[in-house]
């Protein structure tokens, strides 16, 4: 079956850098996505990694190591508006190639 | 741009009642999805439609049915609501089912079943 693990909460201060980790077990891995969700809002897409390495999009970067079944989201120059929940999601061949979402990491950015 | 539109935004039902959640997208996407999100948890896939004319079960399909009415619209029906179906329901769409295709989510329907 599938399982994804993320830390439940992370706290950091404005301007800092924070890393949110995601480890996974799948029946067949196709890719790892990250989504952001503010309280009461809809999830919004941040990034997708199909191959090993780092993908950078502005202040956000996402990393994947398929051999370690591990990825992370790196947020730089934190801003108050980055306070939200962050979900990793793995596309799993054994799951009809659909995405399986992790439980989410709640990030609190303090002034 | 409307993106993905869900109706209603809020609904309270009594156990045993039925209702249909509506979802429409205006991005000409091929694939559509229904998820539920329970407090403090991630999204769980209920049903999906990889392309117009097809629907398939996801992780938690019991108690639900779907209809892909056309390319734009994908509805979710609860035939006999149960308290365990109290949740926030999100509809999403993507340009294609596979590959590097981000899913675009609606604002959700907050459903309470008493």
DSSP string, A12-63: EETT--EEEEEEEE-SSEEEEEEEEE-TTS--EEEEEESSSEEEEETTEEEE
Is the pLDDT at A46 greater than 60, yes or no?
A: yes
Q: Which of A42, A45, A99 sits opposite B108 (nearest CB)?
A: A42
Please tell me whether residue B101 adopts helix, strand or coil conformation. coil
Is the pLDDT at A108 greater than 70, yes or no?
A: yes
pLDDT at B41: 82
Contact between A50 and B100 using a beta-carbon 8 Å cutoff = yes
Rounded to the nearest integer, the mean pLDDT of chain B is 94
**Residue B23, both tokens:** 């979802």
What proportion of chain B, given as a percentage, has pLDDT over 70? Answer: 99
* A window 17-36, beta carbon within 8 A of B: 30-31, 33
The residue among A39, A72, A36, A40 whose CA lies nearest residue A55 is A72
Residue B108 to residue B18: CA distance in whole angstroms: 18
Q: B64 to chain A nearest CA, in Å?
A: 18
Mean per-residue pLDDT for A41-63?
94
The residue among B45, B84, B37 whose CA lies nearest residue A40 is B37
Contact between A87 and B40 using a beta-carbon 8 Å cutoff = no
Contact between B107 and A44 using a beta-carbon 8 Å cutoff = no
Q: Which of B41, B45, B108 sits opposite A103 (nearest CB)?
A: B41
pLDDT at A22: 97
Is the pLDDT at B100 greater than 90, yes or no?
A: no
Contact between B44 and A101 using a beta-carbon 8 Å cutoff = yes
Contact between A100 and B56 using a beta-carbon 8 Å cutoff = no
pLDDT category at A29 given cuts 50, 70, 90 is confident
What proportion of chain B, given as a percentage, has pLDDT over 90? Answer: 87
pLDDT at A2: 62
B9 vs A contacts (CB less than 8 Å)? none
Q: How far is CA A46 from the centre of its chain?
A: 8
Residues in chain A: 111
pLDDT at A28: 83
């Amino acid at each position: 079956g599938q399982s994804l693990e993320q830390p439940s909460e992370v706290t950091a201060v404005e301007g800092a850098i924070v890393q949110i980790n995601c480890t996974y077990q799948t029946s067949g891995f196709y890719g790892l996505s990250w989504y952001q969700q503010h309280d009461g809002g809809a999830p919004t897409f941040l990034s997708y990694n199909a191959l090993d390495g780092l993908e950078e999009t502005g202040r956000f970067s996402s990393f994947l190591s398929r051999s370690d079944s591990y990825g992370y989201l790196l947020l730089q120059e934190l801003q108050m508006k980055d306070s939200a929940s962050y979900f990793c999601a793995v596309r799993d061949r054994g799951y009809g190639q659909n995405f399986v979402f992790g439980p989410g990491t709640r990030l609190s950015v303090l002034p | 741009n409307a993106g993905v539109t869900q109706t209603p935004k809020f609904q309270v039902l009594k156990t045993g009642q039925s209702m249909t959640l509506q979802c429409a997208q205006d991005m000409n996407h091929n694939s559509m999805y229904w998820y539920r999100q329970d407090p403090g948890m991630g999204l769980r896939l209920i049903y999906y439609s990889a392309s117009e004319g097809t629907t398939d079960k996801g992780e938690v399909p019991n108690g639900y049915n779907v209809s892909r009415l056309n390319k734009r619209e994908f509805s979710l029906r609860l035939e006999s609501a149960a308290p365990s179906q109290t949740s926030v329901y999100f509809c999403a769409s993507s340009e294609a089912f596979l590959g590097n295709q981000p899913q675009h989510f609606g604002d959700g329907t907050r459903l309470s079943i008493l």
